[in-house]
Amino acid sequence: MRKTLFRDPKNGKLGGVCAGLAEYFGVEIWLMRILAVTAFLLGVGFFATVAYIAAWLILDKMPLQRKEQQHQYTEHNVKQKPWQSGQSPQQILHNVETELGRSEVQIQKMEAYVTSSAFKVDREFNKL
C-alpha cells in the first residue's frame, strides 16, 4: 500500500503539518514537533518557517477514514521503540479484548435471530 503525505489538522496544533509528517514517517507526533522547533532554533528558522507554511498551503487535509459498512477492523501497531508511533502491548491487548467483546455480543444477536421463528418465516418468504 502506497503512503501519501497529508496534513492532519485533527491531531495537529498549528495546521497539522507535523502530525501529517509523523503519520507519514511512522514516528510520534511529539518527536516531529521537537525536530521542527529545533530546526527553527538552530538558525534555520527562516527556512523552517517558509517550509512549514509551504507545506501547510500545499498539502491536502487528511481524508476521513471510510467505514466499511458495519465491519470495522482496527489495525494494531505495536510500538517497538519509544519514538515510533503505535500502541503499547497493554493498550493493544485492552483494545483487542474490547473488540472481541463487541463481536461476541453481535454473534449472540445473530445466533438468537437464526434460532428464532422470525428467521424461519423470513426464509420462507424469501423462497417465494
Which pLDDT belongs to residue 69? Answer: 39
**Which residue is associated with the grid cell 502506497?**
2
CA-closest candidate to residue 60, choices 4, 14, 2: 4
Q: How far is CA 77 from CA 11, 23, 106, in A?
A: 18, 12, 25
- The pTM of this model reads 0.52
Task: Tell whether the model's pLDDT for residue 68 goes beyond 50.
Answer: no
Which tens digit of pLDDT belongs to each residue from 104-120? 999 999 999 888 888 88
Which pLDDT belongs to residue 75? Answer: 65
**What is the Cα Rg of the chain in Å?**
23
Residue ranges with strand state E in 64-111: none
Q: How far is CA 80 from CA 3, 28, 65, 73, in A?
A: 20, 12, 25, 22
Which tens digit of pLDDT belongs to each residue from 2-53? 778 888 888 888 888 888 888 888 888 888 888 888 888 887 777 888 888 8
Task: Tell whether the model's pLDDT for residue 81 goes beyond 70.
Answer: no
Q: Residues, the chain, total?
A: 128
Q: Are 16 and 62 in contact (CB under 8 A)?
A: yes
